[in-house]
Amino acid sequence: MAKKDLRQPHPALDPALILSELAKGTSNWRDVTVLSQVTSTNDVALARLQEFPDAQVFVVTADEQLAGRGRLQREWTSPFGAGIALSIAIPTMLLSCPIAAIPLVVGVAVNTCLLRENVAAKLKWPNDLMIVKESGEFAKVGGILVQLQVDHVVIGIGINVNLDLAELPTEFATSLALAGKKIQREKLIAQIVCELEIATKNNLENWHDQYISMSCTLGNQVKVTNLKQELLTGLAKSITTSGALILETENGPIEIITGDVTSLRSKESAIID
């Protein structure tokens, strides 16, 4: 087992334990690199692809991420041992869905793993992982960033696992630990890798229905900022199979390919980004 660094409040990742958990799931995706500190796991994966452009699936994870990125270049840091900073490089030929839908497909896979751990998890379009607090409000516990490089996609996944209140990036974020869930990081990393591998083998046939059932965006009045920085308001009506959000506005339905749900409120709950 990995020894706890006395300078750090959380233990380091145990590479052998990740591989052991992957073996339990009979996964073939076992090219796993575990690093102590990185600027961004996605950057490490992208650099490896530049050197080995024909690489098969490989995984990069780190105990500490100093300059990770979310969507729209938002910062996503991960204090040592407190979160999951994970990147998976997958050849695009293994993913039988539109590139734009990949963040949603990954969201389904990760959310499935959280649900197995009895976490009250939901998905906020397009790529946020949310959990319900005791107040009934949703708080962000993780996010997904997909970057395309030639014939690969690099899928970045960040999850707040053991962060305490002082370590949270914003007041609208939370962690699994703060939600009362004690989850081993190695186990969750392996589960996510296995779930994505299973999804590719199943040709991603059911992702759309699964995403809709897991969504906390659909059916609510939302405000969405698109790439033109226009603020659109309406009912989040549906999600297309290409991953776009259909927003029902006063002027009729609008298809939003890329955008940011800046606020969401329903009778039962509220989400603020």
User: Tens digits of per-residue pLDDT, 121-150?
Assistant: 999 999 999 998 777 788 999 999 999 999
- 20-75 per-position pLDDT tens digit: 999 998 889 999 999 999 999 999 999 999 999 999 999 999 999 987 565 545 56
All residues at 6 or more sequence positions from 107 whose CB lies less than 8 Å from its CB, including other chains: 123, 127, 129, 144, 211, 214
Q: What's the confidence (pLDDT) of residue 152?
A: 97
Task: Confirm if 100 and 242 have CB atoms less than 8 A apart.
Answer: yes
- Whole-model pTM over 0.85: yes
All residues at 6 or more sequence positions from 58 whose CB lies less than 8 Å from its CB, including other chains: 29, 31, 32, 33, 45, 48, 88, 89
Distances (CA, A) of 32 to 18, 28, 29, 45, 266: 8, 11, 8, 11, 41
CB atoms closer than 10 angstroms to residue 223: 17
* CATH architecture for the domain at 221-272: Roll (2.30)
The sign of the dihedral angle between the CA atoms of 260, 239, 203, 110 is: positive
Task: Confirm if 149 and 49 have CB atoms less than 8 A apart.
Answer: yes
Task: Give the mean model confidence (pLDDT) for residues 95-108.
Answer: 92
- The fourth-level CATH superfamily of domain 15-214 is Bira Bifunctional Protein; Domain 2 (3.30.930.10)
Q: What's the confidence (pLDDT) of residue 185?
A: 97
Whether the ω angle into residue 126 lies within 30 degrees of 0, i.e. cis, is yes
- Which range scores top for mean pLDDT: 31-35, 130-134, 201-205, 262-266? 31-35
Tokens 């698109």 found at: 226
Q: What's the confidence (pLDDT) of residue 218?
A: 95
Q: What percent of the chain has pLDDT over 90?
A: 70
* Structure-token pair, residue 226: 């698109």
Q: What's the confidence (pLDDT) of residue 3?
A: 47
- Mean pLDDT for all residues in the chain: 88
CA 42 – CA 46 distance, rounded (Å): 6
Q: What SS3 state is found at 229?
A: coil
Q: Is the pLDDT of residue 6 over 90?
A: no
pLDDT tier, 13 (very low <50, low <70, confident <90, very high otherwise): very high
Residues in the chain: 273
- Give the domain ranges of the chain: 15-214, 221-272
- 161-186 per-position pLDDT tens digit: 999 888 888 888 999 999 999 999 99
Task: Give the mean model confidence (pLDDT) for residues 74-81.
Answer: 74
Tokens 């990995």 found at: 2
Q: Are strands 58-69 and 32-38 parallel, antiparallel or unpaired?
A: parallel
Tokens 């703060």 found at: 178
pLDDT tier, 268 (very low <50, low <70, confident <90, very high otherwise): very low
